[in-house]
Amino acid sequence: MPSPRGSTRRPAKAAAPPATPPYASPALEVLETLEIENALTSIEARLDSLEIDLARATGSREDDARRIAGEMAVMRARVEDALIAFAGTADQIRQTVSSIEKRLSDLVVGEELDASVEDVREELEARIDTLGEQMSNLQKDLAAIAPEKPRVITLPDAEPKARAKS
């Protein structure tokens, strides 16, 4: 039973002829050998060139990684300094609040004022606690950034400091 696609079928292909016909003379065989060796030499030269390019790209990538790591160290130090300064300021505010609270308590005696002082103290404590939580979240974010792939941030005065620390 013939196939419905019988008219579109192609006949089977014959075996492919050899890539290079056998040469009749030894001189032609020597020429073929020289041609093959020439092709291999050009392929090896190209391979050497590619290896050099790859080594150059790898070196450049390592240099970039070192530079970025230095910049990240400078930025981390700056942020840590800012957080330390912020924590110091928060401690000063707490001390100021407690001294003001003590002065107000010493000046006025009465439940009404004590209640308002307590309200002010609670409000200030809430604000300071909020600032503390924000600092904690910022520190967590900074810690999470460190293992990630660093982003490139260029600062005009960051490089001399990074080199001085290195």
pLDDT of residue 60: 86
* Candidate from 17-26, 52-61, 127-136 with smallest mean pLDDT: 17-26
CA 97/CA 21 separation, integer angstroms = 100
What's the Rg (C-alpha) of the chain?
39
Q: What is the pLDDT of residues 4-55, one digit of tens each?
A: 555 555 555 655 555 666 667 888 888 888 999 999 999 999 999 999 998 8
User: Taking 60 as the threshold, does the pLDDT of residue 113 lie above it?
Assistant: no
User: Taking 60 as the threshold, does the pLDDT of residue 159 lie above it?
Assistant: no
Predicted confidence band of residue 1 (pLDDT cuts 50, 70, 90): very low
Full-model pTM: 0.38
The conformation of residue 6, written as its DSSP 8-state character, comes to G
CA 146/CA 144 separation, integer angstroms = 6
Question: Where are the domains positioned within the chain?
Answer: 25-165
If one counts every other C-beta atom within 10 angstroms of the C-beta of residue 122, the result is: 10
User: Taking 60 as the threshold, does the pLDDT of residue 132 lie above it?
Assistant: yes
Tell me the CA end-to-end span of the chain in Å, nearest whole number.
85
Cα–Cα separations (whole angstroms), residue 51 to 37, 40, 43, 58: 21, 16, 12, 10
